[in-house]
Amino acid sequence: MSVRRILLGVTGGVAAYKSAELVRLWIKAGHEVTVVMSEAACRFVTPLTFQALSGRPVYTTLWDDRPQNGMAHIDLSRAADVFVIAPATADCLARLAQGRCDDLITTLAAARTCPLVVAPAMNRQMWENPPNLRNVRQLIEDGVTVFGPGTGSQACGETGPGRMLEPEEIAERLEGFFTPKRLAGKRVLLTAGPTFEPIDAVRGITNTSSGKMGYALARACRDAGAQVTLVSGPTGMPAPVEVSRIDVQTAQDMHHAVLSQVVNADIFIGVAAVADYHVVNKSEQKLKKTGKAPVIELAENPDILATVASLPAAPFCVGFAAESHNLLDFAEAKRRRKNVPLLVANLAQQAMGADANEVTLLDDAGIHPLPVMGKDAVAHAIVRHLASLIETSTIPSERTTE
Ligand code: PMT
């Protein structure tokens, strides 16, 4: 993920406290954040909070003489890759729609050369007020991107549309905003997480896959413009925004879910750590101790990736290989056996459950090692490689829905 220079405008709404968390998330992701605040925003949160979180001076007035030439109203947005106003009040949206320049935030918006994103936050009646909706339509027509608002309970005690999106969702949407749309028009089907094969009513066979790698890939494909369906084993992770998720438990459930969706897929990515076996003699009740160890009888599960890759109209298939040793030899043998054009190899003991991963991509052209990176960055690198393969592939990757 590239480092972005983000200019954050905070206007006066209760949601201003959430913007502090937004700054924390962006800084954690490695971005540079400069904050500008309206006078009203300073009544909700102090500039000092944003200064501490961003590690940079906070600007609150047009008359700030800290920028070298005294041109804060121009320089701050010229130095940014994006200007995000969150929360954006109804008053701020109205002034932006009119092109007014009566405070630092609106002046920076008018003088900017970078994209402008607004995350509205207001009471539901203020949101639905026709002049407000007219202002929002005007801003969209002017090329401004609007994130949200969300629907739910509001600080005033009412419920409805107008809540500022949660900081995590704004941060996620901004990553997507910057990603080139190399998978636009493609439908991606992914599996992620572990499977759970019951032994009795409460026990089962599973593994330590957290779902982090698969969910990161789902987000990266979405950010690249794809329509994404994620078939997920039990992970406890929230569904990524704008990704359709099907929850499953066992390998057989996952197999059924994938086969029911694959006709709609241009690309299939098998990230899940699918159990190779299920318990044939599982008990519907919790097993009691009898003084004799129970015998667990296993039978092989279907290989989901191999099944999809062998379909007559197979989508472009990407497999993963988690090996404990002999990584590249075993991974290449797996790629050939399962007949997939792209395989991502990683060491099981390092990759499972971790936040970072070191992967090697294997395709017909050879071996492409990637450095150790956070799983989101690994996922974006895999998507870039996948997009290049599809762009140069003779395999038809566009399918029509029957
Ligand atoms: O979830 P995390 O904690 O982030 O960890 C990520 C990961 C380690 C699980 C991931 O990076 C990974 O390596 N996933 C594949 C794990 C695995 O089961 O590898 P495998 O070598 O056993 O399987 C090879 C391929 O066949 C995989 O694409 C797998 O999804 C698929 N498979 C395997 C068995 C089966 N019955 N059906 C399958 O589709």
**Counting Cβ atoms within 10 Å, is residue 142 exposed (0-12), middle (13-18) or buried (19+)?**
exposed
Pick the residue whose CA is nearest to atom 37 on ligand 1. 303
Query: How far away, in angstroms, is 258 Cα from ligand 1 center?
Result: 15
- The residue nearest atom 13 of ligand 1, judged by CA position, is 322
Residue at a domain's end among 133, 154, 178: 178
Asked if 93 and 127 sit in the same domain, the reply is yes
The ligand 1 site (C-beta within 6 Å) comprises 191, 193, 209-214, 251, 270-274, 276, 301, 303-305, 319-322, 334, 346, 348, 351-353
Cα distance between residue 365 and residue 343, in whole Å: 12
Residue 262: DSSP 8-state: G
What CATH code is carried by the domain that includes residue 203? 3.40.50.10300
Which of 344, 345, 343, 341 is CA-nearest to residue 316? 341
- More confident call, 161 vs 47: 47
Torsion angle of alpha carbons 110, 111, 116, 120, nearest 10°?
A: -40
Q: Ligand 1 test: best mutation among 274, 352, 372, most atoms within 8 Å of CB?
A: 274
Crossing angle of the two packed helices 16-28 and 167-178, in degrees rounded to 10: 50
pLDDT tens per residue, range 250-259: 999 999 999 9
User: Which residue owns the Cα nearest ligand 1 atom 20?
Assistant: 321
Cα–ligand 1 centroid distance for 251 (angstroms): 12
Asked if 114 and 173 sit in the same domain, the reply is yes
Ligand 1 mean position to 276 CA, how many Å? 10
The amino acid at 98: Q
CB 214 within 8 A of CB 232: yes
One-letter amino acid identity for 24?
R
370 occurs within a structural domain: yes
Please indicate, yes or no, whether residues 53 and 86 belong to a single structural domain of this protein: yes
Mutate which of 261, 271, 298 for ligand 1? The one with the most ligand atoms within 8 Å of its CB, which is: 271
What atom of ligand 1 comes closest to residue 304's alpha carbon?
39
- How is residue 350 written in tokens? 């390092």
To the nearest 10 degrees (0 to 180), the angle between helices 90-98 and 130-141 is 50
- Please say if the pLDDT value at position 67 is more than 50: yes
The contacts found for 350-354 with CB under 8 angstroms, 24 or more apart, are 351/213, 351/322, 352/207, 352/208, 352/209, 352/210, 352/273, 352/322, 353/208, 353/209, 353/210, 353/212, 354/212
Residue among 196, 219, 252, 305 to mutate when testing ligand 1 (max atoms within 8 A of CB): 305
Is residue 401 a part of any domain in this protein?
no
The residue with greater pLDDT, 68 or 19, is 19
Domain count for the chain, please give it. Answer: 2
Tell me what pLDDT residue 157 has.
82
**Domain containing residue 41:** 5-178
Residues 203, 102: one domain? no
Is 386 inside any structural domain?
A: yes
- Say whether both 93 and 215 belong to one domain: no
pLDDT digits (tens, 9 = 90+) for 232-247: 999 999 998 889 999 9
Question: Mean pLDDT in the chain?
Answer: 93
Q: At 158, phi and psi to the nearest 5?
A: -90, 170
- Specify the pLDDT at position 267: 98
Counting Cα atoms < 13 Å in the Cβ hemisphere of 208 gives 9
Residue 281 in 3-state DSSP? coil
The arithmetic mean of pLDDT across residues 370-398, rounded, is: 85
Look up the CATH number of the domain holding residue 109. 3.40.50.1950
* Ligand 1 centroid – CA 147 distance (Å): 34
Residues 286 and 346 in one domain: yes
Chosen domain end from 154, 178, 202: 178
In this structure, are 357 and 213 located in the same domain? yes
135 and 116 share one domain: yes
Burial 348-362 (b: 16+ CB within 10 A, else e): beebbebeebbbbbb
342-348 own/partner pairs: CB under 8 Å, 24+ apart:
342/316, 342/317, 342/318, 342/385, 342/386, 342/389, 343/318, 343/319, 344/318, 344/319, 344/320, 344/382, 345/320, 345/321, 346/320, 346/321, 346/322, 347/322, 347/323, 348/322, 348/323, 348/324
pLDDT, tens digit, for every residue of 297-339? 999 999 999 999 999 999 999 999 999 999 999 999 999 999 9
Question: How far, CA to CA in Å, does 60 sit from each of 42, 47, 267, 292?
Answer: 8, 8, 48, 74
Question: Rounded to whole angstroms, how far apart are CA atoms 342 and 305?
Answer: 12
- Is residue 56 assigned to a domain? yes
- Do 238 and 266 lie in one domain? The reply is yes
Q: Are residues 241 and 140 in the same domain?
A: no
Query: Region 86-110: what's the mean pLDDT?
Result: 97
pLDDT value, residue 394: 59
For residue 12, is it within any domain?
A: yes
Residues 199 and 155 in one domain: no
**If you measure from the C-alpha of residue 130 to the centroid of ligand 1, how many angstroms do you get, rounded to a whole number?**
51
Catalytic positions, written as ranges: 156
- Do 123 and 221 belong to one domain? no
Tell me the whole-structure pTM to 2 decimals.
Answer: 0.83
Q: What is the pLDDT of residue 402?
A: 32
Percentage of the chain beyond pLDDT 90 is 85
H/E run at residue 193: none
User: Hey, how many other C-beta atoms are within 10 angstroms of the C-beta on 34?
Assistant: 22
- 287's CB contacts (< 8 A; 6+ apart) are 199, 200, 203, 294
- Is 397 a member of any domain? no
Report the C-alpha gap between 41 and 61 in whole angstroms: 12
What are the angstrom distances between the C-alpha of 327 and each of 330, 347, 359, 398?
A: 6, 7, 10, 32
Domain for residue 398, yes or no? no
Which of 178, 202, 220 is the endpoint of a domain?
Answer: 178
Asked whether residue 396 is domain-assigned, the answer is no
